[in-house]
Structure 1
């Protein structure tokens, strides 16, 4: 009897694990990676939460609540209705959304830009049939390309700008050629990937009513949250947003993607544990990133394995060539989805089947071409 009970429990556990792997493949991979790391290079379990960048996780939690509130208010559907009546083709719509995503990412970081653009894409899809997967992938590429330009565009830029000591203007001027090249590549790819066919507006009957009070409060809170998070008071901002919505509109808290928060927390633990492995550091030191191209290549390639933010932080200990490092981690945001955390956000927000395969079919060739062009720019433009 005991043996039969044990067998049933084992089968139940296996079904749970298989179900998790099917529904949350990234989360399952991270859990397996953490298990392997704890077996081969054990850390005290209580020390693992210290590896999490809680500022980032709290910022993500607040943005998830705020974008859910904006969605529930109906304002995105209203905006989608207005957009489809001023854009006449699928290709024009894609170009508009790519420009919006890139422009926003230069000012409010690539992650925040996605929380505006991807929900808008999903709202547009309710009004007219759209290639949601492709549009979401291009939005992710757009925020990675646009955010290259300014120190505010993404966390790795902010880190490199602060540690390099260069002025804001010099940083922008230095990264402008790479940003322009990446955006030109993206728009060229847009012309090939999206058709010039007219939008089908048969679904667009009547506009959804907007809860103006909910939308106005959500917009004000969104602005205040971003400003507080930028001034390193994200804990206060998250507490205020959470309590306010729980007391007023609790759906904005209860219906967010909690799995995405778990993925981000585990990513920090796993990636920082990998980055701290002695053989990783010894390998980097042994390679000797003492030339422009070596620094660039190391940053681009390492980003594919541990994401571009940890790559920038780690490699900054081995080189003072901030320009090559910035070019490398910027290009490293393309390719494998893990290269930029923004990619993971975009894929999760879209909630489309087979998204990972579709993403890599586009992003991997883009990374290869961007890598070659980035190296050429780095060597020929000073």
Structure 2
């Protein structure tokens, strides 16, 4: 509702042509989100996630062990499958594990949001801002990875340490009545897994709207209840964020403020990327600063660090909290993520100075 209000206020005080609103809406991104929501809801409804969760907790006996495994899986997957896809795979698994054990789901969702920001930092295809900068800078894939490795390493070490310190030392306590009896619909599981793979491929090749349409049709015929149970409010939230922040980033006052900053200074690029990410999210911040920052890779480090902090620093944060659906999630996220940013940002910058 906050971003709906922002969109309406900006439309009243600074009217723009319809074509601009259509561009700000980012239909390909929303289509990709819809396709992922459909596929993951199908996987949930098939019972496959619950079966996998039961197999995992039956083999790992400490909460810290489960937590480190989930955080590591999240970070690794985000380097190759992008940050949002990783969360769509891992957070439902976490929720299922929490339903049959004493694993603290909300803590894990917060940790996985941090982990996905850390892991996706490493790869040029790990998140949208890296993809934009990679295409803009025209650097080789491995050179990009090498440049981002120190920052990503600092981030992940901090996330792993926080996971170890924050999770209880307790052993996993299984709830037998929840562990047993999870039937798996093989047909729905296969449909959903194929749909997920198809959606990722369509997103990689720039055909997200077509991919979402191809998913809607078979689910409407064979599993229409899964379509109903999709988190449509998350879709509406992202649409409002895109419209509100997209318009805000183009205001003359914003352009004037940026014009007073000397982006030839490395610290200015670093702080500018982090602060702007806190205000308008790291992907719009990247678009806003990419032509102003002479060192695109320094900007990449900054906007990835800016994914920590407030929840809109990275839209992956919102996805993690919405998928977990735990009470007081926003409050706990900020209580952890803002101090995490305040610790992580200087350490990453110091690492960059040491490495020259």
Q: TM-score, normalised by structure 1?
A: 0.91
Matched, 1:196 2:139: no
The yes-or-no answer on 1:173 pairing with 2:151 is no
Q: Is the 8 A contact 2:124 2:145 kept in 1?
A: yes
Report what 1:104 is aligned to.
77
Q: Does structure 1 conserve the Cα–Cα contact (< 8 Å) formed by 2:42 and 2:189?
A: yes
Per-residue Cα deviation, 1:95-142 (whole angstroms, up to 9, x for no partner): 010001001100010000000011001111121122111000001000
Give, in whole Å, the separation in 1 of the partners of 2:106 and 2:281. Answer: 22
The root-mean-square deviation of aligned C-alpha atoms, in Å, is: 1.2
| Cα shift at 1:46 | 7.2
Q: Does 1:124 align with 2:92?
A: no
Deviation, structure 1 residue 279: 1.0
Q: Cα–Cα, structure 1 residues 161 and 45, in superposed 2: closer, same or farther, change >3 Å? A: closer
SS at match of 2:338: helix
Map of 2:129 onto structure 1: 156
Q: 1:277, 1:154 → 2: CA distance?
A: 26
CA displacement, residues 221-243 of structure 1 (integer Å, 9 cap, x when unaligned): 21121111111111221111001
2:252 to 258, 272, 278: 278
Query: In the alignment, does 2:303 pair up with 1:339?
Result: no
Indicate the residue corresponding to 1:23 in structure 2: none
Q: Distance in 2 between matches of 1:288 and 1:264?
A: 32
Partner of 1:4: none
**8 Å contact kept, 1:77–1:207:** no
Structure 1 residue aligned with 2:25: 52
Q: Does 1:318 pair with 2:292?
A: yes
What is the alpha-carbon distance in structure 2 between the residues aligned to residue 177 and residue 64 of structure 1?
33
My pick for the range that moved more, 67-76 or 189-198, is: 189-198
Pick one of 116, 136, 161 that aligns with 2:109. 136
Whether 2:42 is the aligned partner of 1:69: answer yes
Aligned length: 355
User: In the TM superposition, what whole-angstrom CA distance separates every residue of 1:248-297 from its partner, at most 9, and x where no partner exists?
Assistant: 11112111011111111111111111100011111111112111111111
1:1-382 matches, within 5 Å, as: 28-44=1-17, 47-203=20-176, 204-382=178-356
Query: Could you tell me how far apart the structure 2 residues matched to 1:236 and 1:138 are?
Result: 33
How has the CA–CA distance of structure 1 residues 225 and 195 changed in structure 2, closer, same or farther, with 3 Å as cutoff? same
- Higher Cα radius of gyration: 1
1:42 Cα offset (Å): 2.6
Question: Distance between the aligned counterparts of 2:271 and 2:179, measured in 1?
Answer: 52
Distance 1:355 1:206 in 2: 29
Structure 1 position 317, deviation (Å): 1.6
- Who is 1:17 aligned against? none
| 1:172 Cα deviation from its structure 2 partner | 0.2
CA contact (8 A) 1:332 1:367 kept: yes
* Runs (5+) with no aligned partner, structure 2: none
Contact 2:54 2:179 in 1 (8 A): no
1:179-233 alpha-carbon deviations (Å, 9 max, x no partner):
1111111111112101221111133441401111211121112112111111111
Moved over 3 A (4+): 44-47
Bigger RCO (CA 8 Å, 6+ sep): 2
TM-score w.r.t. structure 2 length?
A: 0.97
Offset of 1:44 from its aligned partner? 4.7
**What runs of 5+ residues in structure 1 fail to find an aligned partner?**
1-27
